[in-house]
Amino acid sequence: MTKHFLFTSESVSEGHPDKICDQISDAILDAYLALNPQARVACETLATTNHITIAGEIKGAELSEAEVDAIVRGVIRDIGYEQEGFHWQTVEIVNRLHSQSADIAQGVDAKTGEEEGAGDQGIMFGYACSETPELMPAPILYAHKILETLSRDRKAGLLPELGPDAKSQVTCRYENGRAVGVDTVVVSTQHGEGVSQSAVEEIVRRYIVAALPEDWDLEKARVLINPTGRFVVGGPDGDTGLTGRKIIVDTYGGAAPHGGGAFSGKDPTKVDRSAAYAARYLAKNVVAAGLAERCQIQLAYAIGVAAPVALYCETFGTGLVSEAAIAKALRELMHLTPRGIASHLGLRQPIYRDTAAYGHFGRTPTDTGFSWERTDLVHSLRARFPTLLAAE
């Protein structure tokens, strides 16, 4: 924690080919959950020049070909794609969704008097730190903010010069383990034919300044905007997209480990998603409760088994109590079975499309979405360590 170093994270916009696929997969998931909150969905999407293929497994609800077609076109329209090589009206859509494997279903289905099992084996990580108000690592948080505000104003008609596809990268300067400023910012954004490099630079720089903390001096930083000098052809017309290919963008920007499983298109029985949300929720509450400045939670599951086979807590030397004590308290405060997580966080709802761009974490919790960002365990956690309260 005494080191001085640089750390970098990247984000991609909702118009990036991989993010188009994530949003389509989650929009389809939402549609199935709206029909049946217990529906099982694993939906993958591929995007290329004027073409979308959807594949995956479904159980417990049905959507017609026309309904799926309308969902896909609606997502592409909302993002803003109306270019020759990728247009929401003319894109070809191939639907290869089918029934869930009986072998998988028998491991997940709840038996009489028992809970449903995890939809797969695997490891999931959650992380939180005190370096931003959102308890997120600074580089990924600000990389997201730059693109999210650019996209918001583009879709509002305020930036007609820009297209939907964009990427950002923020390198923060750390002193004594704390983010104290920015060293380098890279933004590449699609733009219209004939828009000059200087015009793009002038637009984007304003959004970079607005996204960063006021006391961070951008004048001393390197700012690279469209460093190739031209970015007209974008989206799936320029690069193939796939669901689940931006898992580091989706989580902590490389500041914490990732178990390897993607989120989008998966219902809550898939612990790749639900347990990663639970791990973030637990880690965030530990930091919000003042038990540590940094907290990382690892959960591990076996397919068909409800309870996690392991919970590991790491506070990187910043904890005020032992990690074993924190882990014990967390297990007591939340049932970490798929059913327990879904119930505690309200995950059997059509809430997922909004998660599929600009990060699943560090967002503002609402009545229906991003429940894993709540800090409603703080009081209960602190109550388990009365000596901390007495010391204060």
| Strand locations in the chain (E) | 5-12, 40-48, 51-59, 82-83, 86-87, 92-99, 122-129, 162-175, 178-191, 222-225, 241-242, 294-301, 310-314
**275 belongs to an annotated ligand binding site:** no
Which tens digits make up the pLDDT trace of 307-326?
999 999 999 999 999 999 99
Please state, in angstroms and as integers, the Cα–Cα distance from residue 5 to each residue in 127, 178, 211, 389, following that order: 20, 10, 22, 34
**55 belongs to an annotated ligand binding site:** no
**19 belongs to an annotated ligand binding site:** no
Residue 392, strand partner residues: none
**349 belongs to an annotated ligand binding site:** no
Amino acid, single-letter form, for residue 286:
V
Domain presence at residue 108? no
Whether 203 and 219 share a structural domain = yes
Q: Which residue, among 308, 337, 312, 336, has the nearest Cα to 324 in the 3D structure?
A: 312
Whether 225 and 319 share a structural domain = no
**44 belongs to an annotated ligand binding site:** yes
Domain presence at residue 164? yes
Q: What is the CATH number of the domain that holds 187?
A: 3.30.300.10
Whether 213 and 281 share a structural domain = no
Whether 284 and 385 share a structural domain = yes
Which tens digits make up the pLDDT trace of 205-243?
999 999 999 999 888 899 999 999 889 999 999 899 999
Amino acid, single-letter form, for residue 284:
K
In whole angstroms, what is the distance from residue 282 CA to residue 136 CA?
14
**106 belongs to an annotated ligand binding site:** no
Domain presence at residue 70? no
Residues 6 or more apart from 30 whose CB is under 8 A from it? 350, 351, 352, 353
Q: Model's pTM, two decimal places?
A: 0.95
> Which residue, of 234, 259, 281, is where some domain finishes?
234
∠ CA 313-319-321, rounded to 5°: 90
Whether 278 and 387 share a structural domain = yes
Whether 126 and 150 share a structural domain = no
**383 belongs to an annotated ligand binding site:** no
Which tens digits make up the pLDDT trace of 291-307?
999 999 999 999 989 99
Domain presence at residue 95? no
**376 belongs to an annotated ligand binding site:** no
**272 belongs to an annotated ligand binding site:** no
Domain presence at residue 384? yes
pLDDT at residue 105, rounded to an integer: 55
**262 belongs to an annotated ligand binding site:** yes
Residues 38, 68: contact at Cβ < 8 Å?
A: no
Share of the chain above pLDDT 90, in %: 88
Classify 106 in phi/psi space as left (phi over 0), alpha (psi -120 to 50) or beta: alpha
- Domain of residue 315: give its range: 122-130+268-391
**18 belongs to an annotated ligand binding site:** yes
Which tens digits make up the pLDDT trace of 271-290?
999 999 999 999 999 999 99
Starting at the edge strand found earlier in the chain, the sheet holding 122-129 runs 122-129, 294-301, 310-314
**354 belongs to an annotated ligand binding site:** no
**59 belongs to an annotated ligand binding site:** no
Whether 199 and 222 share a structural domain = yes
pLDDT at residue 387, rounded to an integer: 75
Give the number of domains in the chain: 2
**360 belongs to an annotated ligand binding site:** no
Domain presence at residue 107? no
**280 belongs to an annotated ligand binding site:** no
